Amino acid sequence: MEIGFKLVSSLALPILRSKTLSMKISMKRGALYAVIICALLAGTNGLMIKYMSTMTASSMAWFRATIPAGIFTIWMLQNKIPFFRGNYKKMLGASVINAGRIYLYLIAFIYTSIGNAVILFYAWPIFVSMLSVLFLKEKIDKYQIGLLFLAFFGLILAYSNQSFSFEDQDFIGMLAAVGAAIGYAITVIIYKSESDNYDKNELIFYQNIASVFLFFPLFFQNLPDIAWNHLGMAGIYGFLIGVVVFSLFFYGLKQLKASTASSLMYLEVVSAIILGFVFRNEVLSINMIVGGTLIVFSSFLLTQSNKKAAGSSD
């Protein structure tokens, strides 16, 4: 009897291990696809913003924030989570900053090309590194300092063929993109300092709640001038970017390394540029191609070096 049990066990264990391994591989593959789809969907940001031409940036911002805020409000009520707990004043302050960031982000896509806006916005990891040194007292090595200088050289190069005038729409849009990147970097630092105290769904709620109230009067004022098809697109935009994209990213983050997930998100830049070219015949200038490559490349390497540093300190 004992011999028979050992024989069955010796045959069954490899099968069970094989099934467990195949399930893990399948889950990781699914997570990989989730983050790739997330990045590609995020790349449609510019097209949707350009399409909603009868809407002001503040009206789009209201939809962008209200839909995810509403969904996660219901989630918090169902889970009986208090709306004002912990360091809520700090979180609400970050929410106000994020409202400004969303507004500048939308202005960027309205005034300049999709490629210009998305490339300059992806300078945000650079500003995160700088702010981390100033406010979180994180250490930075010579390699990271070199990448920061490379990124700033890319920014100078990207702007070098622009007239520094607020009458130039490209200049306004590009300036807004950099402003949005700085605003996003500030909120990343704040949310990072409080991430252990809140669920990720709470963070998304706080991220959007201030915008709901700040932009509603401006949306109501703009409402009579908004075309119905643009109103419908705004609803899709708020749900797709505010809920679906974040949900896919967090799903992928559970199964993948943070460095892998964040690296895949750079597909958003490629996706946005291709969509801008295909659907709007947008072509990047030589300055933006070279400068943008330096920005995205140094930003990518900076993200990787920060993840490695975090991993070694753990």
pLDDT of residue 314: 46
| % helix, strand, coil for the chain, step of 5 | 85, 0, 15
pLDDT of residue 150: 86
| Whole-angstrom distance, CA of residue 179 vs CA of residue 166 | 15
Mean pLDDT in residue range 222-229: 95
Residue 273 has pLDDT above 60, yes or no: yes
Q: What digits encode the pLDDT tens for the residues 1-20? A: 555 444 444 544 454 455 45
Q: Which of 249, 280, 283 is nearest to 47 (CA)?
A: 280
Q: What digits encode the pLDDT tens for the residues 140-160? A: 788 888 888 888 888 878 777
pLDDT of residue 308: 58
- Residues 208 and 242: beta-carbon distance below 8 Å: yes
- On the 0-12 / 13-18 / 19+ scale of CB atoms within 10 A, 8 is exposed
pTM, two decimal places: 0.83
pLDDT of residue 313: 47
The CA dihedral of 249, 254, 259, 265, to the nearest 10 degrees, is -10
pLDDT of residue 11: 46
For residue 254, what are its two tokens? 């559970």
Interhelix angle 2-42/245-255, rounded to 10 degrees, is 140
- Residues 120 and 178: beta-carbon distance below 8 Å: yes
DSSP string, 65-112: HHHHHHHHHHHHHHTT--SS-SSHHHHHHHHHHHHHHHHHHHHHHHHS
- Residues 72 and 131: beta-carbon distance below 8 Å: no
CB contact set of 119 (below 8 Å; sequence gap of 6+): 158, 177, 269, 273, 288, 292, 295, 296
Question: What single-letter DSSP state applies at residue 223?
Answer: G
Residue 161 has pLDDT above 50, yes or no: yes
pLDDT of residue 14: 52
Task: List the chain domain ranges.
Answer: 52-313
- Residues 239 and 67: beta-carbon distance below 8 Å: yes
| Whole-angstrom distance, CA of residue 41 vs CA of residue 37 | 6
